[in-house]
A = this chain, B = another copy of it.
């Protein structure tokens, strides 16, 4: 039996990310974001409340990095999610370098996408930055021998709002389209 719990944002778990950006004053900032998305086959979306300090710089210079978080990085990532750059300078929380378009990238993140903001799907209180990906930096030990990203080894930390928790990425179940065959075989019996 299912229970109707009302209008609840329940599209979880989502990959936890740290958004790297640079303020108009040249100061590097890090912001935690769990409300993200994929647009089509080539763009990502980062939803950021307009009250965040990071939004100003991103609106001005149109670049940011999206860094996935593993369990090693989680304490520092959770920390940047707990304090506002309006009150605390978070520029030195992570060792970083510049991506190919200048966006600051976390040295120890297992995967970073260096992005350019090409649009803003603005809602009343949120900037929803639509981004193209200019380069993708991946820890070498999280790549398959064929050079593809192995999420089963990278194990991104996941986020969910309803009980405000982090979860592990679990093991690989199998390949897409392999389960369809199982369904069809059953149907044909």
Instruction: Report which A residues bind B (CB closer than 8 A).
Output: 1-15, 17, 34-45, 47, 49, 66, 68, 71, 74-79, 81-83, 100, 111-113, 121, 123, 125-126, 128, 130, 132-140, 143-144, 147-152, 155-160, 162-180, 182-184, 186
Contact = CB atoms under 8 A, between A and B. Distances in A.
28 contacts: A2-B137, A3-B138, A3-B143, A5-B149, A7-B42, A8-B113, A8-B133, A9-B42, A11-B68, A12-B149, A34-B38, A35-B39, A35-B40, A37-B38, A37-B39, A37-B47, A39-B47, A39-B121, A40-B49, A40-B128, A75-B179, A76-B183, A82-B180, A148-B162, A148-B163, A152-B165, A163-B175, A168-B171
Given A11-B15, A160-B151, A165 B174 contact: yes
A79 to B, nearest CB: 4
A167 B159 contact: no
A36 B35 contact: no
A4 B111 CA distance: 10
